[in-house]
Amino acid sequence: METQETINARATRVQSALRAAFGVKAKSLDVALRRTGRRLPKRLHAEARRIVDAQALGGQPKLTRQIDGGALDTAETRIVTFLGGIDRADRRKGFWLGIAAAMAFNILLIAAGLVVWMVWTGQV
């Protein structure tokens, strides 16, 4: 049977995994999920919402009996496993390489346009 302490511990583990993977700093898992946005896949976002919903029951004993502990366990495992495979340094490097590639393409496009213009006007 799930208790409020175990649910809060699950939420804390998922929240710390979000902080490690994406650098999301928030006081609660709900806010962390909103700040994560589309960086977390839809299915994992839905599973994290399941943990938030279980946490929202507020430790009411009768309502806590309705929580499926196995589903929360698999949700936490899937989320933490997915987030553990994300390398922040590689994402950052990919971001900067993408910007550099776009700039290089634009420079090549301008140079090609300049050559075409020079041929068209008869200067080459």
Per-residue pLDDT of the chain (124 residues; tens, 9 = 90+): 788 899 999 999 999 999 999 999 999 999 999 999 999 999 999 999 999 999 988 778 888 888 888 999 999 999 999 999 999 899 999 999 999 999 999 999 999 999 999 999 998 7
**Same structural domain for residues 82 and 94?**
no
- pTM reported for the whole predicted model: 0.78
**Same structural domain for residues 69 and 111?**
no
The total of structural domains in the chain comes to: 2
Q: What is the C-alpha separation between 94 and 76, in angstroms, rounded?
A: 28
**Same structural domain for residues 65 and 27?**
yes
Q: What is the C-alpha separation between 30 and 45, in angstroms, rounded?
A: 11
Q: Which two tokens stand for residue 63?
A: 């309502």
**Same structural domain for residues 45 and 22?**
yes
- Domain carrying residue 110: 87-124
**Same structural domain for residues 80 and 103?**
no
